[in-house]
Structure 1
Amino acid sequence: MVVEASFVIHIPASIYQEMVAHVSAGYPNETCGALGSLDERVIKNYPTANAAEHPDDFSIISEVDIVRIYNDIDEYDGDMIYYHSHPITEAYPSARDIDWAKRSGYVYIIFSHRLHPEPPYARVFKINPQGQVTEGQIAID
């Protein structure tokens, strides 16, 4: 169940286009990365390689990359947003996404290639520790 949208993530158009290019380049595998934000405004993109053992079915950022990203975000006292793609399914958190998000507390942006060869589209979610999914809005500024 999705709770009514209660938040907006603002992404500069140039960063959004970088994200689309990154997840498109990884197709047909899942692609992942992170964003640094301040007050729900994205200020930096951290595209990463997918370190999952089975990148066609899952995505994960390597420990080395996650430490580098955390350290950089700490420099400007920001928050991390996790993004990844679903090559075949809807841009909605899978059961595995929900399980990971319950523990991490990250905002999730999920891209879907379900309409490939059309460009992927994205949706944004917060998932609380009980697994309740709240969908927000993405504003491309």
Structure 2
Amino acid sequence: MVADAQFVVRIPESIYAEMVAHIAASYPNEGCGALGSVDEQVVKNYPTANAAERPDDFSIISEADIVRIYNDIDEYDGDMIYYHSHPITEAYPSARDIEWAKRSGYLYIIFSHRFHPEPPYARVFKIDAAGTVTEGKIEQIA
């Protein structure tokens, strides 16, 4: 069950367009990346390769990329938001997504290609340590 939207993530239109292009280029595999945010406003995009053993079924950012991203985000005292795609299913956390998110505490932006070849669409979620999923809202800003 998804709780009512209780938060908003603001993403500049140019960064959102970069994310969509990166995710679309990954299809039919899952694409992934991270965002740096300050006060739930995205300030930087970190598109990455999918380091999962089976990129058609899961997504993982490599340890080297995570370290690089964390170090950069630390420079501006920001927070990391994880994003990835579901090539076939809804933009909603899978059971595996929930298990990973429970440990990480990141916000999750999930893109769906359900309507491919239409562009993927995205939703954002907070997943707490108990596995409760709360959906937020993505607001594109100029």
Same fold, TM exceeding 0.5? yes
What is the deviation of 1:119? 0.2
1:108-123 to 2 correspondences below 5 Å: 108-123=108-123
Q: Deviations over 1:44-79 (max 9, x none)?
A: 000000000000000000000000000000000000
> Counterpart in 1 of 2:74?
74
What is the deviation of 1:43? 0.1
| Superposition CA RMSD, Å | 0.2
- Give the whole-Å Cα distance in 1 for the aligned partners of 2:41 and 2:110: 17
* Structure 1 ranges of 4+ moved more than 2 A: none
> Counterpart in 1 of 2:85?
85
Q: How many residues get paired?
A: 141
> Counterpart in 1 of 2:124?
124
What is the deviation of 1:131? 0.2
- Give the whole-Å Cα distance in 2 for the aligned partners of 1:4 and 1:128: 14
> Counterpart in 1 of 2:133?
133
SS for the counterpart of 1:16 is: helix
> Counterpart in 2 of 1:49?
49
Which stretches in structure 2 are left out of the alignment for 5+ residues?
Answer: none
TM-score between both structures, scaled by the size of structure 1: 1.00
> Counterpart in 2 of 1:2?
2
- The answer to whether the aligner puts 1:39 opposite 2:24 as a matched pair is no
Report sequence identity in percent.
81
Q: Deviations over 1:63-98 (max 9, x none)?
A: 000000000000000000000000000000000000
> Counterpart in 2 of 1:18?
18
